[in-house]
Amino acid sequence: MDFSTLEAILRPDQILSGAAASRGYDCDAYTVDRSKPSVIVLPETTLEVAAVVRWCAASQVPFTSRGAGTGLSGGAMPALGGVVISTKRMNHILEIDLENRCMLAQTGIANRRLTDAVKADGFHFAPDPSSQSVSTLGGNIGENAGGPHTLKYGVTVQHILGVTMVDPLGEILTIGGKLGCGPGYDFLGLICGSEGTLGVVTEAWVKLTPLPKAVTTALVAFPTIRSATETVAGIIATGTIPAALEMMDRGIMNAVALAFKLTFPSEAQALLLVECDGDDADVVAKEMESVRTVCESNGCLEIRIASDEKERANLWMVRKKGIGAMGRIAPSIVTHDGVIPRSKLPEMLDFVYEVAEAHKIGVANIFHAGDGNLHPCFYFDDRDPLQVERVIEAGEIIIKKCIELGGSVSGEHGIGVEKMDLMPLMFSPADLEAQAMCKRIFNDGMLCNPCKVLPNQRGCAEHKMRWRGVAT
Amino acid sequence: MSFEHKQVIQFPDLAQNYLFPGSQTDLSQMISNHSRLRIGGFNPYRYSNSKAGANFAKAESGKLVRTEGPPTVQQCDGHVLLDKLNKVVMFSPADQVITVEAGILLNDLNKYLLDSGFEIPIGLNEKDQEECIGDLMAMNLPHWNLARGGTWRDWVVKMRIVLANGEIVTSGADVVKSVSGFDIHKLMIGARFTLGVISEVTLRIKPRSTPKDYPAIALNHGILFLTNREGLKELLEYSKCHTEDDDEFVKHAMVFYIEDESCLVLTESFQNHFNDAPFDSAKFGHVWRSHVGEFALPNFSESDQKLMRRTKAIFDPTNKLNPGEFGFF
Ligand SMILES: Cc1cc2nc3c(=O)[nH]c(=O)nc-3n(C[C@H](O)[C@H](O)[C@H](O)COP(=O)(O)OP(=O)(O)OC[C@H]3O[C@@H](n4cnc5c(N)ncnc54)[C@H](O)[C@@H]3O)c2cc1C
């Protein structure tokens, strides 16, 4: 294939190729499966994206959208090679409308920058994945990302009013807008979480949410995992919905202690980070009081409540830097993602530790406990094929258990290539065929982010073994 | 647990050949065995079916004109009402989710939840509470608690749907958060049973809260204002400029519910068009919000029209389900 004709569409500095460049784009943060693109393009406008996609359609070359590449299920991996459309240079805010509480931005902008732009005016973009300093608006839409504050504020789809996108044939579509979607079919709901398989989202109107006037944050230490998980169920049962309810286990504490010199009670096996917020300081204080009562009745060891913004940031550090700190312990980490009904947390966590032990791999847990959204982090060495296999097997066993307990294969990281084969555990062939019908509304072919989400797609099986590489 | 079957025939003029499936399998068979079916009992806002303005569309001149109606039940083989599908299938207070069949009335569901201290925060007026939740989801009407309570899409986590070929499919999971492929259930909300029939849903529920204490107005078409009484007066003035027969139209279309001293709620209203000059919300610090309402196919944006046509052709190629809705004749 002659990729040089792309130069008729983009400037040379917008086209990257060669071994080094393609290695940098052969996987996302799920490093187990890899596939190299032929070319990486860096468009700057919707029109440029449309021109590239039309070129791909005409040349029958597969293409894959990519934001920051922090996805954890292989969504941005170019499964059949071809062109990676990176939104790196599409990072501008195009309009801020505070009165109507919304903002228009290109989708390559990092999540955090949306909030930074309006913070001083008392607003924020509520979805806050822990990767928010780098992960992009487009990636958040692609994966319908959540974050620690999802419990109260919802996931990405609830904060997107409209998008401009390029469909798989290169046509520009506008769905919803500043006023959100009108009546009719909810295409926006379908696009959020579709993992880049329905087209390339180039711009989005996002909702701006007022910052709460009062916030209280507590970090609570527990002597056992079970006492912490039972506290989660207890807090939810009181009817209090904290803004965040996150859990970290001893593995994370050790990693964070090592990396950032933080200290925790020596007998602590689990931490809960609880944040309550709202406009009325008295109500928020009462909520935190109710949280404290539940924690104490479950035998907590210590409750640290932040008295100012600096202390609050310190308490959050263990949650926000937890996964990064794990990176210092082992060469590779695979962060799994499954959801279970919250009441099943105690049983499920016991199971996770058993599986890790049986597979001789290290595991630490840091997750959105309030949503029942688990993230067991396996740490291992991905240069060793046997370890890679064990990690994959353990992950599958855990996800199967999530489904057995009435949960889901993924809470926020998506299906990508990682979990395609697990979809039939959750859905019947008829269910999956109906999902394929949804995909066909936008994407009838194999060019736009092929071999993702739906299992058994024609033309993908033979590539699977090729992806499963070992890090070099 | 199931509720008394309340058979409410809403369209006496169309009262023939009503079908009341007693189970989801029944519903599936009915759909398989018929070639044109009217589905659902909640019609006041439907395209061409309501006195209150729903049978108006915007002509090229910019004026509102009466549009053609959908086929009546006489032209369909039957009219399916979900009333008998009203069982509570699963309720887990600890996980704050409930699974119910789609024929359960919102009122009955909320009464059931009240005993355990929960609610579905979709704030519909009394009349709408008497509708079944399948119909309410299919219509996806705006409501007074939209700003806080969100739309049905925010509360439905799993759905069973009977497709036009009679196949029963499931989308989503019984948990509060899930990214598991293409969310068919989101596509069904607001689709007016034109793509499939919602037969069972799992909903997130929330602990019951105290009544709201801020003013809100929900307009039928798409915009929710948080406003004050001054703003409301201004809004009424604004609304009139959209109608041909102001008095008659506005009288029919607007019903006010004064929930408490500070909360003004407009739940039924007029056609409101995205393309018109927006109401001067700056004046009173209003906040525009989005929602759904009444529209016919030609009123949608080009992108939407194209995608809607494609979607209908994929999900219901023979136009079996609610022919006429959205102008799919
Ligand atoms: C340390 C760490 C912490 C994380 N924490 C969280 C968390 O708390 N919550 C959470 O939900 N996730 C989390 N993630 C996962 C990841 O950050 C999110 O999925 C994020 O939304 C991905 O954004 P990205 O820009 O990196 O997208 P990418 O990884 O580049 O892409 C993700 C998917 O979106 C598609 N895509 C990207 N841009 C576009 C576009 N413009 N149009 C259409 N499709 C597009 C891609 O094709 C791909 O399928 C975390 C990841 C890491 C590494």
| Segment B17-59, tens digit of pLDDT | 788 999 999 999 999 999 999 888 754 333 333 333 333 344 4
> Which CATH number belongs to the domain containing residue B171 in this structure?
3.30.465.10
**Which of A121, A169, A186 is the best substitution to test chain B (most B C-beta atoms within 10 A)?**
A186
Res. B169: pLDDT tops 50: yes
What pLDDT digit, counting tens, does each position of A320-367 carry? 888 888 888 888 888 889 999 988 998 999 999 999 999 999 999 999
Atom of ligand 1 nearest to the CA of A145: 11
Residue A408, chain B, CB below 8 Å: the answer is yes
One domain, residues B171 and B306: yes
How many angstroms separate the alpha carbon of residue A335 from the centre of ligand 1? 13
Residue A448 lies in a domain: no
Q: Which of A266, A298, A324 is the last residue of a domain?
A: A324
Q: What pLDDT score was predicted for residue B230? A: 53
Q: Which of the listed residues B43, B59, B80 is the one where a domain comes to its end? A: B80
Residue B185 in contact with residue B171, Cβ under 8 Å? yes
Nearest ligand 1 atom, CA A75:
49
Assigned domain for B106 exists:
yes
- Name the residue among A313, A355, A172, A321 with its Cα closest to residue A253: A321
B161 vs A434: CB contact, 8 Å cut-off? yes
Q: Which of B167, B293, B307 sits opposite A187 (nearest CB)?
A: B307
Residues B184 and B306 in one domain: yes
- Please check whether residue B294 is in contact with residue B5, taking contact to mean a CB–CB distance below 8 angstroms: no
Q: Is the CA virtual torsion A232, A233, A238, A242 positive or negative? A: positive
Q: Give the Cα separation of B183 and B186 in Å (integer).
A: 6
Judge if B158 and B245 occupy the same domain.
no
What does the DSSP 8-state code read for residue A32? S
- CA-nearest residue to A182 within chain B is B292
B250 pLDDT more than 80 = no
Is there a single domain that holds both residue A266 and residue A352? Answer: no
How much is the pTM? 0.88
Are residue B197 and residue B256 in the same domain, yes or no? no
Compute φ and ψ for A342, nearest 5 degrees.
-55, -35
Lowest mean pLDDT among A55-64, A156-165, A170-179: A170-179
Split into its structural domains, chain B has a count of 3
Is residue B321 domain-resident?
A: no
Find the domain containing A415 and state its range.
330-422
The C-alpha of A310 sits at a distance from chain B's nearest C-alpha, in angstroms, of 30
Q: Which range is most confident: A344-353, A452-461, B292-301, B319-328?
A: A344-353
Quote the pLDDT of residue B189.
Answer: 95
* Local confidence band at A461 (pLDDT 50, 70, 90 cut-offs): confident
Nearest to A411 among B177, B223, B281 (CB): B177
The whole-chain average pLDDT of chain B stands at 69
pLDDT tens track for B259-288: 332 333 343 333 333 334 444 434 433 333
Query: How are beta strands A172-176 and A302-305 bridged, if at all?
Result: unpaired
A52 CA → ligand 1 middle, Å? 22
Sign of the alpha-carbon dihedral angle for A106, A337, A244, B142: positive
Predicted confidence band of residue A125 (pLDDT cuts 50, 70, 90): very high
Inter-residue contact A463 to B202 (CB < 8 Å): no
pLDDT of residue A468: 65
Rg over CA atoms, chain B:
19
* Co-location of A311 and A370 in the same domain: no
- Is residue B166 domain-resident? yes
Whether A361 and A317 map to the same domain: the answer is no
Q: Are residues A277 and A313 in the same domain?
A: yes
Same domain, B97 and B178: yes
One domain, residues A357 and A390: yes
Give mean pLDDT, residues A40-48.
98
**Sequential DSSP letters for A71-112:** -SSSTTS-TT-SEEEE-TT---EEEEETTTTEEEEETTSBHH
Q: Is residue A47 part of a domain?
A: no
- What CATH number should be reported for the domain holding residue A363? 3.30.70.2740
A334 in the same domain as A274? no
Domain boundary residue, one of A401, A422, A443: A422
CATH number at residue A246: 3.30.70.3450
Give the mean model confidence (pLDDT) for residues B189-205. 95
Q: Across residues B147-169, what is the average pLDDT? A: 91
Burial of A20 (0-12, 13-18, 19+ CB in 10 A): exposed
Let me know if residue A381 belongs to a domain. Answer: yes
Q: Measure the CA dihedral B302/B308/B310/B311, to 10°.
A: 160
Domain assignment of residue B10, yes or no = no
The better pLDDT of the pair B85, B263 is held by: B85
pLDDT band at B246 (very low <50, low <70, confident <90, very high): very low
Domain contains A263: yes
Residue A238 is predicted with a pLDDT of: 84
In whole angstroms, what is the distance from residue A348 CA to residue A350 CA?
5
- Regarding the beta carbon of A142 and ligand 1, being less than 6 Å apart is answered yes
Closest by CA to A270, choosing from A247, A239, A237, A254, is A247
Same domain, B252 and B179: no
pLDDT at A111: 98
* Measured distance CA(A185)–CA(A298) in Å, rounded: 47
Residues B147 and B62 in one domain: no
Flag whether residue A426 sits within 8 Å of chain B, measured between CB atoms: yes
The verdict on B167 and B273 lying in the same domain is no
- Distance, in Å, from the CA atom of B117 to the CA atom of B110, rounded to the nearest integer, reads 10
Ligand 1 atom at shortest distance from the alpha carbon of A65: 47
ipTM score over 0.95, yes or no: no
Instruction: Judge contact between A401 and A42, C-beta under 8 A.
Output: no
A251 with A340, same domain? no
State the DSSP code for A33: B
Is the predicted pLDDT of residue A389 greater than 60, yes or no?
yes
Q: Please give the Cα distance from A136 to A91 (Å, whole number).
A: 9
pLDDT the model gives residue B1:
60
Question: Do B201 and B284 belong together in one domain?
Answer: no
Domain total for chain A? 2
Q: B16 pLDDT band (50/70/90 cuts)?
A: low
* Chain B residues whose beta carbon lies within 8 Å of the beta carbon of residue A431: 169-171
Residues B169 and B278 in one domain: no
Kindly tell me the burial class for residue B26, based on how many C-beta atoms sit within 10 Å of its own C-beta (0-12, 13-18, 19 or more).
Answer: middle
Q: How far apart are CA B131 and CA A305, in angstroms?
A: 46
What pLDDT score was predicted for residue A40? 98
Q: What is the pLDDT of residue A397?
A: 95
Range of the domain at B107: 88-211+301-315
Of B179, B274, B281, the CB nearest to A414: B179
Are residues B156 and B305 both part of a single domain? yes
Residue A222 and residue A315 in one domain: yes
The answer to whether A430 contacts B140, with C-beta atoms less than 8 Å apart, is no
Q: Is A168 in the pocket of ligand 1 (CB under 6 A)?
A: no
Of the three residues A422, A442, A461, the one that is the final residue of a domain is A422
The answer to whether residue B294 is domain-embedded is no
- The reply to whether B325 falls in a domain is no
Instruction: Quote the DSSP letter at residue A212.
Output: P
In a domain, A208, yes or no: no
| A261 & A309 share domain | yes
Whether A373 has its CB under 8 Å from any CB of chain B: the answer is: yes
User: Do B309 and B183 share a structural domain?
Assistant: yes
- Taking the CA of residue B255 and the nearest CA in chain A, the distance in Å comes to 21
Per-residue model confidence as pLDDT tens digits over A398-439:
999 999 999 999 999 999 999 999 999 999 999 999 999 999
